[in-house]
Structure 1
């Protein structure tokens, strides 16, 4: 079950299977008349015209096509075992469902989408993840042109966005999305500048609940990268350049990390698999790790804990939505949680 995150379940990345992909060049397109040859992490795929019937195999791809003002016809989740189509997407798909204008087909799990359902949908484009969908790539490509991209990681969504936008004839929209992203970074950096100056060093960890080991998040992580983009410095296991998105340590080693602030990426696997209402999604994902942190003697001994400078964010945002919406949600959450520190900064 733990191997389902990067390919089909958020837990893979959380538990440390965060190796960066091989050095495959970023996706790019070579026009050929009405057709384009798309080079992506799965290979090279020829696409003619602008696809209209699009299937997406993870939340990142869903967010990208929605950001380009395109409505997909089918969606595969990274976590849920729900049955039936998404007939009420705003209540069934976290963070993105309210932007889906009509019911869409449920394709099952991201790492093992229903090929039979996809065939029935008759798509003209399938968008997926190199780790999660590589094994099905040959079969998916026989159904429709299939593009596979990287999932997690700092700013990797921009490569996917630009390639997909060109396929869909929406490059201008993609440029606006990237510009908006950069403006969000700049604005947040300015708003939080006093806090960054007073509390520059951040320890970000990921955990379902503290036990024998946890994961230190590095700048290669989507949310870790955002923290550094707005000026914070992430605490890591060593001074060497990280090669993975996380670095696993034992809980007992937490006191070795001297940090002004701590941000915890939390998740709840049981609740991930049985979403009933997206309104309570964030709370359900954080409940377990918050309780665990508050009752763990080692965690409570840290300076940040003693000074009430520990904050929480769902791992789903950082690992499930390393995308335009993930940026907005993360930065808004950071501002909401950290801005009260401004009063302390001014008082000192």
Structure 2
């Protein structure tokens, strides 16, 4: 669910709506390619789009599309952000675009917010392909399609990026590269699963929650979430409120029920809306995103009473990765973070 906004305050509403209200769509084919001579018709969540030739000037309307295009070895010419309303140019992308900016090697235009990109700027760029999100860009789809062929895909959720990657790679003539990316993803899952096998066996149940401050809101993360799905991929079992199959990536809960969800490990997705534009470097960005929820967790009596807290088995990861980068790089960052945080626990398990 997306909201039209231009100010950071309304960006907060959108971020929180993603945390608690996004409903997982039914499983439908997200895209397919029908060759027609030098042209192809691509079926996607926005409809059917005919593309002739191989696109060279590509506009991406969210971090997931940016990561996919960069992973395929293509530099886009325009980019819209998802969680902040940064003004001005991306003249220092490594300091302005979290996690992906250091891979941008050519000028890239700031198109504003993902949910309401600047059509005027897009027109001036004269793109030959626009890549966006069905939830955030559906209302502008007809306008965007008049500017250039536009493809819309599902944004959040478990493994959704692989469908998008394969469809975009087909359009860009880079299907072999897409296969390598997916193979690398599967290998990384297998490697992490093996490295943390002892931890999974000893501490199988994980409670994953998302919050900015515990006294304001807290959401239970399900297996439909990108990061929640990765935890299950490497063998953990996520704590649930009930045994019913989840339909949303997160579920709002009261902090009072946390003891009922007590688990062997706790992983907290943390975010700080105000500091989303303050990157400077990735270490600083990660720290500012986690600082608030870490402090509230450490000072909350109920949170500290949980078994995992008492045994120093609570870990943190930025929500930005799980919601903003459900993509190849998001996988790498999440699994690397899990290994770095959990490997000391694995050594303890192995010693015992």
Establish whether residue 211 from structure 1 lines up as the match of residue 215 from structure 2. Answer: yes
Which residue in the other structure is 1:70 paired with?
A: 74
Which residue in the other structure is 1:157 paired with?
A: 161
Which residue in the other structure is 1:317 paired with?
A: 321
Q: Which stretch of the first structure deviates more once superposed, 211-220 or 159-168?
A: 211-220
Aligned counterparts of 1:234 and 1:72: Cα–Cα separation in 2: 37
Aligned counterparts of 1:312 and 1:187: Cα–Cα separation in 2: 21
Q: Is contact 1:73-1:121 (8 Å) kept?
A: yes
Q: Is contact 1:8-1:78 (8 Å) kept?
A: no
Find the partner of 1:194 among 182, 194, 198.
198
Deviation for aligned residue 1:237: 1.1
Question: Residue deviations 1:140-167, cap 9 Å, x none?
Answer: 0000000000000000000000000000
Which residue in the other structure is 2:57 paired with?
A: 53
Establish whether residue 11 from structure 1 lines up as the match of residue 8 from structure 2. Answer: no
* Alignment of structure 1 residues 252-331 onto 2, 5 Å: 252-331=256-335
Establish whether residue 247 from structure 1 lines up as the match of residue 251 from structure 2. Answer: yes
Cα separation, partners in 2 of 1:3 and 1:242, compared to 1, 3 Å: same
Aligned counterparts of 2:26 and 2:143: Cα–Cα separation in 1: 23
| Partner SS for 1:340 | helix
Aligned counterparts of 2:83 and 2:30: Cα–Cα separation in 1: 27
Q: Is contact 2:214-2:296 (8 Å) kept?
A: yes
Aligned counterparts of 1:289 and 1:265: Cα–Cα separation in 2: 9
Q: Which stretch of the first structure deviates more once superposed, 223-232 or 234-243?
A: 234-243
Aligned counterparts of 2:113 and 2:167: Cα–Cα separation in 1: 24
Q: Is contact 1:200-1:233 (8 Å) kept?
A: yes
Question: Residue deviations 1:289-340, cap 9 Å, x none?
Answer: 0001001111001000000000000000000000000000000000000001
Establish whether residue 115 from structure 1 lines up as the match of residue 119 from structure 2. Answer: yes
Find the partner of 2:170 among 166, 169, 176.
166
Which residue in the other structure is 2:183 paired with?
A: 179
Question: Residue deviations 1:1-51, cap 9 Å, x none?
Answer: 99479999543322x012012454221111111111111011110001110
What RMSD in Å do the two structures reach over aligned CA positions? 1.8
Q: Is contact 2:2-2:135 (8 Å) kept?
A: no
Aligned counterparts of 1:208 and 1:97: Cα–Cα separation in 2: 25
Q: Which stretch of the first structure deviates more once superposed, 320-329 or 2-11?
A: 2-11
Cα separation, partners in 2 of 1:2 and 1:119, compared to 1, 3 Å: closer
Find the partner of 2:107 among 100, 103, 107.
103
Which residue in the other structure is 2:7 paired with?
A: none
Q: Is contact 1:154-1:225 (8 Å) kept?
A: yes
Normalised by the size of structure 2, how large is the TM-score?
Answer: 0.95
Establish whether residue 91 from structure 1 lines up as the match of residue 69 from structure 2. Answer: no
Cα separation, partners in 2 of 1:11 and 1:2, compared to 1, 3 Å: farther
Consecutive unaligned residues in structure 2, runs of 5 or more = 5-9
Deviation for aligned residue 1:84: 1.3
Cα separation, partners in 2 of 1:8 and 1:163, compared to 1, 3 Å: farther
Aligned counterparts of 1:2 and 1:174: Cα–Cα separation in 2: 29
Aligned counterparts of 1:346 and 1:328: Cα–Cα separation in 2: 25
Q: Is contact 2:30-2:153 (8 Å) kept?
A: no
Q: Is contact 1:36-1:46 (8 Å) kept?
A: yes
Q: Is contact 1:27-1:163 (8 Å) kept?
A: yes
Aligned counterparts of 1:62 and 1:212: Cα–Cα separation in 2: 32
Aligned counterparts of 1:303 and 1:333: Cα–Cα separation in 2: 22
